[in-house]
Structure 1
Amino acid sequence: MKRTLSFVIKSFLGLLCLGVAFLFIQSQQQSQQTPNLFGYSALTILSNSMQPEFSEGDVIVIQQTSSSDLATNDIITFGTKDGNRVTHRITDTMDQDQNRFFTTKGDNNNVADAEPVFEGQVIGKVLFSIPKLGFVARFLSEPIGFMLLIVLPLVAYVGITVYERLSKPTKKEEAFK
């Protein structure tokens, strides 16, 4: 039982480290693009424009989606001309000259967004949210948070593994007992 639990924990930590490393490397190489893993991305909400659906600090998971699969009342994340990412609800769709445009609006805003969203600007459709997880992500992005929650557990894991391997009796020692 102890060995199985140890294997599960080590596997989970290994996969977590690989996933974090993959997203970190991908975000460094493609700073203008949203990092994704198999078409899914996690983003932190930075404003309250979508309250009560999402609040500042919530994490949303979005999936890359074809514009033909989007409809009124879907919540999408899209890129703006100045490089920001915005998550708002589609209030209307328009097809013009074989192009699709969306009118969007934040649930907590009084008016719709000034410019329609072109289908090429859409990053993805929101699947679900995790309340307040963004504050943890923000803490992890700071040096002290990264050290406390990523580096120290990783060092502890390596230290424990090395200690366990060094403290195991060798076959020669077992033969003399």
Structure 2
Amino acid sequence: MFKRTISFVIKSFVGLLCLGVLFVFIQSQQQSESTPNLFGFSALTILSNSMQPEFSEGDVIFIKQTEASDLVKDDIITFGTPEGNRVTHRITETNTQENQLSFTTKGDNNNVIDAEPVQEGQVIGKVLFHIPKLGFLSRFLSEPIGFGLVIVLPLVAYVGITVYERLSKPKSTKNEEAI
């Protein structure tokens, strides 16, 4: 009984995790102009070295949707640009003009501040933490060969082994079970 309960819990957790990943994937495909999120949390890959040594190209950052009024100097934020890009830089200064909040930002590895201040409506979220180099794995998995090697091949192997084990299991008769 205990073994079945543990098995059910593990399978349920893996199933929910897969549904969450599928949800974020579908959302990112349908809403390419907005940042995909799950319960207000998003994962993005760093594409440049403007925030070194904090983040490097290929790192994955996890951000949480945050109200602009909750942000302070030295917070690292991700924001959208008018061109549709996403940028992750550190707040160097907060400004309020005519009840409108804006932020001066700068990449840690850049020599000058960003040319345009970030308006509160542009803020996507605040960086919570990062995982170094995970973005390279993500990029590899998004290619057909990577997806096949890491996802499809092990899945096919698992199904094949399971089918083989079930077919090769000796069938017990009712007489054997009664003894």
SS in 1 for 2:173: helix
Deviation per CA, 1:91-135, whole angstroms, max 9, x where unpaired? 001111111100000000000000000000000000001011111
Consecutive unaligned residues of structure 2, counting only runs of 5 or more, are none
Structure 2 CA distance, aligned partners of 1:164 and 1:6?
18
SS in 2 for 1:18: helix
Q: Which runs of 4+ in 1 moved over 6 A?
A: 1-5
Give the superposition deviation at 1:69: 0.5
| Residue number in structure 2 paired with 1:45 | 46
Residues 10-19 or 63-72, more deviating: 10-19
If the length of structure 1 is used for normalisation, what is the TM-score?
A: 0.88
Letter in 1 for 2:43: A
Deviation per CA, 1:49-71, whole angstroms, max 9, x where unpaired? 00000000100000000001100
Matched, 1:140 2:158: no
Letter in 2 for 1:156: A
Letter in 1 for 2:87: V
Structure 2 CA distance, aligned partners of 1:174 and 1:32?
61
Structure 1 CA distance, aligned partners of 2:150 and 2:99?
49
Identity of aligned residues (%): 78
| Residue number in structure 2 paired with 1:174 | 173
Matched length: 175
If the length of structure 2 is used for normalisation, what is the TM-score?
A: 0.87
Consecutive unaligned residues of structure 1, counting only runs of 5 or more, are none
| Residue number in structure 1 paired with 2:124 | 123
Give the superposition deviation at 1:4: 7.2
SS in 1 for 2:25: helix
| Residue number in structure 2 paired with 1:65 | 66
Structure 1 CA distance, aligned partners of 2:15 and 2:90?
37
| Residue number in structure 2 paired with 1:150 | 151
Change (3 A) 1:14 1:169: farther
Deviation per CA, 1:23-42, whole angstroms, max 9, x where unpaired? 11111111111111110000
Structure 1 CA distance, aligned partners of 2:134 and 2:115?
30
Residues 159-168 or 55-64, more deviating: 159-168
Structure 2 CA distance, aligned partners of 1:153 and 1:2?
24
Change (3 A) 1:144 1:9: farther
Structure 2 CA distance, aligned partners of 1:148 and 1:3?
31
Structure 2 CA distance, aligned partners of 1:22 and 1:158?
24
| Residue number in structure 2 paired with 1:74 | 75
Letter in 2 for 1:23: V
Once superposed, what is the RMSD of the aligned Cα atoms?
Answer: 2.3
